[in-house]
Amino acid sequence: MRRSFKFLSVLAVLTVVAAPIPKIQAQAPAKPGLGNPSVPYVPTPEEVVMGMLELANVGREDVVYDLGSGDGRLVITAAQKFGAKKGVGIEINPGLVNKSRENAKEAGVSDRVQFLNQDLFKSDFREASVVTLYLLPRLNLQLRPKLLSELRPGSRVVSHAFSMGDWRPDKRVAIDNRTAYLWIIPARVEGNWTGTLSTQSGQKIPYRMQITQSFQNARAMAEIAGTTVSLPQIRLVGDRLSFEHRQKINGQDMRVRVNAQVVNNSLQGTAEVLNANSTETLSMTGTRASTDQ
């Protein structure tokens, strides 16, 4: 682990050395109280900027934050080429903040983007639906708890070059010999749930589920109408939870496919019960009894 960190740091330094040195330095005095940059300025190449924003599927409803925004290229491109309704760049170097504002004016998107001279670790990015990063593995890990706890479920995080340790990406792509990673912020589902499955004829079937969660993966032990079932693979995409399992119901082997939306401590969705000849769709509701995690 130590070796690969060292290797990545050396790689990062080499990238800095190899890249054409940008002329932008601190043209404005640094704000008192703001520390030194945690990582030097190395711009993301334009094709990679496009690829990262495509990977995050940025559109008109998105608020895009770039943490450590350099010359502003990610948020400017998000507004100009992807129609994002708002872009915010957080940058510790005041010279780069000024340059970003000039670049935004030139690109004609000053009304939709803003650049804040702040430390990204102290910034408030809760309104973001997309966060972009080009930092370092160590900084991604440092930022991880803040991303997971402050962003809404379903928000997307895209990182150029660096991963997030044991939080596996939902997708990764290669762009021009570089790697971009995508994570979708999962809802918190861990805890004890109780609820009801309702058949179309009005029959109510109670269930209990004890869910444990690791990022976008979860597993559960469930008790449905007195039968205990193990659900080893629950998938979470933002606030959507889904799983499939087999169960004997009235002596028949059935496939049960669950899709539900989780909003805070409640759950709502469907359970499709399928056998060779028929499908019955039951509605599903649930409440989390315990949120101590």
Residue ranges that bind ligand SAM, judged by CB under 6 A = 37-39, 41-44, 66, 68-70, 73-74, 90-93, 96, 119-121, 134, 160
Residue nearest to ligand SAM (CB): 68
Closest CB to ligand SAM among residues 93, 155: 93
Burial of 29 (0-12, 13-18, 19+ CB in 10 A): exposed
Which is it for strands 113-117 and 86-91: parallel, antiparallel or unpaired?
A: parallel
Q: Closest approach of Cβ 73 to ligand SAM, in Å?
A: 5
Q: From residue 180, how far is each of 145, 156, 162, 230, 284 by CA, in Å?
A: 20, 13, 8, 35, 37
Residue 47 structure tokens: 């094709």
DSSP string covering 71-126, please?
TSHHHHHHHHHH--SEEEEEES-HHHHHHHHHHHHHHT-TTTEEEEE--GGG---T
Q: Closest approach of Cβ 91 to ligand SAM, in Å?
A: 5
Instruction: Please tell me the distance from the alpha carbon of residue 132 to that of residue 25, in angstroms, as a whole number.
Output: 22
Closest CB to ligand SAM among residues 74, 147: 74
Closest CB to ligand SAM among residues 93, 216: 93
Q: Closest approach of Cβ 72 to ligand SAM, in Å?
A: 8
Q: Closest approach of Cβ 4 to ligand SAM, in Å?
A: 19
Q: Closest approach of Cβ 225 to ligand SAM, in Å?
A: 53
Closest CB to ligand SAM among residues 41, 193: 41
Closest CB to ligand SAM among residues 123, 285: 123
**Dihedral sign, CA of 64, 177, 182, 61?**
positive
